[in-house]
Amino acid sequence: VVPPAYARTAIAGGPAVLTERVPGVRSVSTGVWVRAGGAHEAPDGLGVSHMLEHMLFKGSERRTARDFALELESRGGSLDAYTSREHTAYTARVLDTDLDVALDVLADLVRNPLLREEDLALEREVVLEEIAQVDDTPDDLVFELHGERLWRDHPYGRPILGTRDTVAALS
């Protein structure tokens, strides 16, 4: 049974849409959750979900990377993303009056990325730096080492960011 504030709408041949109404709130948090994350990757492709997350922000047929950065921020909103072991999420927060713009931006981001080779070279360096930062941050490093030890050979024990070798080999 779904409480009255929540609704689930199934779109024929498409995604499920989950909504929650919070009376008196004029903001909207929305997003697209893709069922692909670190645990779904082959050992020689570790980090590909996270790399793709980065690549989607580099531009589309309709928007440049700058357009993606400013379209919602210029309205007081935000656009963000993260990769987990189970999924990759692309999220937006805006005023309720800008929901249509946020949905258009998210749809463009996930459906029309350019995925250019020159952007991959740049983002590869960004992700390699993120991997180095994990190694230099004790609380991040212990989290990675704990997962590796706890899960052993299970995909949950693999690093979401990938390794230096797997990220360097992504094409």
DSSP class of residue 14?
S
125 Cβ contact list (under 8 Å, min separation 6): none
DSSP class of residue 11?
P
Q: How far apart are CA 29 and CA 36, in angstroms?
A: 21
The rounded Cα 60 to chain-centroid distance in angstroms is 16
Which active-site residues does the annotation give? 53
16 Cβ contact list (under 8 Å, min separation 6): 8, 9, 10
